[in-house]
A and B are shown apart, each in its own frame.
Chain A
């Protein structure tokens, strides 16, 4: 257990060194908070409520999404795939640390850094310019922490699977593109799932991606169904981690190392 804590700390510290990049990314997140906020607010010139969300919910959603997006970072993480392609994965697999557990711990450390330095700041800026909805009950904060870290674990399990396809495909750009695209849409990042037509919303809630963005934010907004959402997050996390383990086993058997 101590080992994984150490790995998480490494993950945290590694990303903490990218100071300028973090600042630049933070600036971008903040600008997009404004932009996406104004786009979604345009809906409420015509109506007071859409899909159970009012204007305050929606603008809070827009800012919370920008806060969350770097934590549940799926786009562009190809470290494991690169290690497979370059052959370093062989040494990784020889180590006494489980590959998936290592990267999960590492990612949780990273996400914790991004929570503090790319998650909270845009939201705080947003709260100066807009009237954002904050939780009324203390228990919400606890549920939020659980839900957010589940979202991180879930998105990790997902991107780990995408990376493992490198065992078979070597170049995962196609998988990465489509995998990220599906997540963008189905997680509620593009628009909140509640704005989808009824059948699409139902489908989206049943699928794993909703747990990466929509669920934690709904917990934050104290929307009904929070516990169901969290349960689904947990279930999908376990399921996707299990798929990852199966793929690891199959991939190791099939191991093709490029570059000797």
Chain B
């Protein structure tokens, strides 16, 4: 594991250095990236001009949800976002070259590039978090304070797991990668809003099928001390780490299965 991380760092460091070479251009793109993502928050601000609450959540509370998912997703996007190029890598044969090397295929795919501009997205997430904290009335117990990093870490792993598992579709159906946007970018967008605005079939899907509700909604109920009007039991608020582990397992299995299938068809 440590060895893997060390190799990852070396592979990525060169990429990062190359990107930081043209400072001005990079900064412009990074800020731009952040602002693009921030538009989703602008959407919330515009909507909250018209209404006092969204499914019982105030602007600052929704901002809290937004900040958690935004930051976690930005981090995941930064680390494994290059997975979006998987179809190209398969098509051009670059993936075949990867399979020959004595290093994990997934690690190689994601370390091929790390788009540092995505840091801009993480930074805007932090800014919105600061805004959220300025307006929520939280009784900060030790448990609640601890829950924040746990929530963010679990969120990142859940997003990562979903992203990896979703990307394996590229091994089965050519050119289908855009469908995965539904759960990755779509998942990020969905979790920026409280679950209550979605109809019950969608809420159940987000809790039991693609577990995005565990990214920020359930843990946030605990941190913010809110009642859940949707009738889920109280203990689901602490399930995120377990869900994250489950996502890891599923993602790993999906990737291995897909690569095994890919190998055996002799492409």
Contacts and interface: CB of A to CB of B under 8 A. Distances in A.
Contacts of A34: 202
Interface in A1-38: 18-21, 23-25, 27-28, 31-32, 34-35, 38
Interface residues of B, number: 37
Interface in B176-219: 176-179, 181-182, 186, 189-190, 193, 197-199, 202
B136 interface: no
B178 A180 contact: no
A28 B29 CA distance: 26
Contacts of A31: 182, 186
A42 B43 contact: no
Given A18-B175, A35-B190, A174-B25, A27 B33 contact: no
B32 A181 contact: yes
Interface string B157-181: 0000000000000000111111101
A143 to B, nearest CB: 28
A103 B263 CA distance: 41
B20 interface: no
Contact of B39 (A35, A47, A190): A190
* Dominant SS among interface residues on chain B: helix
A27 B181 CA distance: 9
B39 A39 contact: no
A40 to B, nearest CB: 8
A173 B29 contact: yes
Interface stretch (B47-55, B220-228, B231-239): B47-55
A203 B42 CA distance: 17
Contact of A24 (B28, B178, B193): B178
Interface in A35-51: 35, 38-43, 45-47, 50-51
A28 B39 contact: no
A38 B197 contact: yes
B46 interface: yes
B90 interface: no
Contacts of A190: 39-40, 42-43, 46
B52 A46 contact: yes
Size range of the interface on A?
A: 35 or more
Contacts of B193: 38-39, 42
Given A38-B198, A46-B52, A28 B181 contact: yes
Given A45-B51, A181-B35, A191-B46, A39 B179 contact: no
A99 interface: no
Contacts of A35: 186, 189-190
Contacts of A178: 28, 32, 35
A126 to B, nearest CB: 14
14 contacts: A19-B175, A20-B174, A24-B175, A34-B202, A39-B193, A42-B55, A42-B193, A45-B51, A51-B50, A174-B28, A174-B29, A178-B28, A184-B39, A190-B40
Q: Which 8 A-B pairs have the closest CB atoms?
A: A177-B32, A20-B175, A24-B179, A24-B178, A174-B28, A46-B51, A21-B175, A31-B182
